[in-house]
Amino acid sequence: MNDELADVRQCYGLFYRRTSKHSAARLWRAITDAGELSRWMAYPMRVDLRVGGDYYADFSRTGGGELDGVIVKIEPQRLLRYAWGTSIVEWTIEPAETGSRYVFAQHGLYPRPLPDEEGLAAGWHVWLEDLERFLDTGSPSTEEAGGIRWHAMGKLYRPKLEAAVTLPPPDPVYSPHSSPPSAPA
């Protein structure tokens, strides 16, 4: 018998509620077709749309590395859930009178000791704006415009994060691609 107690860590989630003038079918295609994902996210993506299939992103050109995901649940045009890194990402879509409504959520995030933890929340916010722009025009935003918007949104998300979670101090040794830091003794 092992009497060693588990580490207990604080996790948080991000939840974005959005309305789109585009149909649930159109939104579904934009989040499940690798070609469309690659265009609006502006990173190479790979999707094998089946339970157990890949949901992969290559963020290496901007230092984010590669993120392998595994699809864990699919309800076409309604729900897409995948394990991505150490978290669960979920798209819940429903038809609306003039398009669709959706919730994008990322569960199981742990506060990382980075000076810009708000970058994750700001990044998804900007990507969801890029998604809508892509659905409207067929073109993603420019990387420069996205970066400017990302920095602006980060300033808005910082107080929300500080109110919701305890952020560790910056740790210059820590990398977002390494294991979470050990819990204090």
How many other CB atoms are found less than 10 A from the CB of residue 145?
14
In a domain, 178, yes or no: no
Out of 56-65, 87-96, 172-181, least confident range: 172-181
In a domain, 74, yes or no: yes
171 pLDDT exceeds 70? no
> What are the pLDDT digits (tens) for 128-143?
999 999 999 998 777 7
In a domain, 4, yes or no: no
In a domain, 114, yes or no: yes
> What are the pLDDT digits (tens) for 65-80?
888 999 999 999 999 9
State the chain's maximal CA–CA distance in angstroms.
Answer: 61
In a domain, 118, yes or no: yes
How many other CB atoms are found less than 10 A from the CB of residue 8?
6
In a domain, 174, yes or no: no
CATH no. for residue 68? Answer: 3.30.530.20
Beta-carbon contacts of 151 under 8 Å, excluding residues fewer than 6 positions away, are: 122
Tokens 């963020």 correspond to 59
In a domain, 42, yes or no: yes
List the beta strands (DSSP E) in 21-68. Answer: 45-47, 55-58, 66-67
Residue range(s) defining the domain that contains residue 63: 12-164
Looking at residue 115, what is its pLDDT? 52
Q: What is the pTM of this model?
A: 0.82
pLDDT mean over 42-56? 95
Our count of domains for the chain comes to: 1
Q: Sorting pLDDT into bands at 50, 70 and 90, what band is 116?
A: low
pLDDT mean over 105-122? 79
Is residue 47 exposed (0-12), middle (13-18) or buried (19+ Cβ within 10 Å)?
buried
Q: Sorting pLDDT into bands at 50, 70 and 90, what band is 64?
A: confident
Beta-carbon contacts of 81 under 8 Å, excluding residues fewer than 6 positions away, are: 71, 72, 73, 74, 88, 89, 90, 91
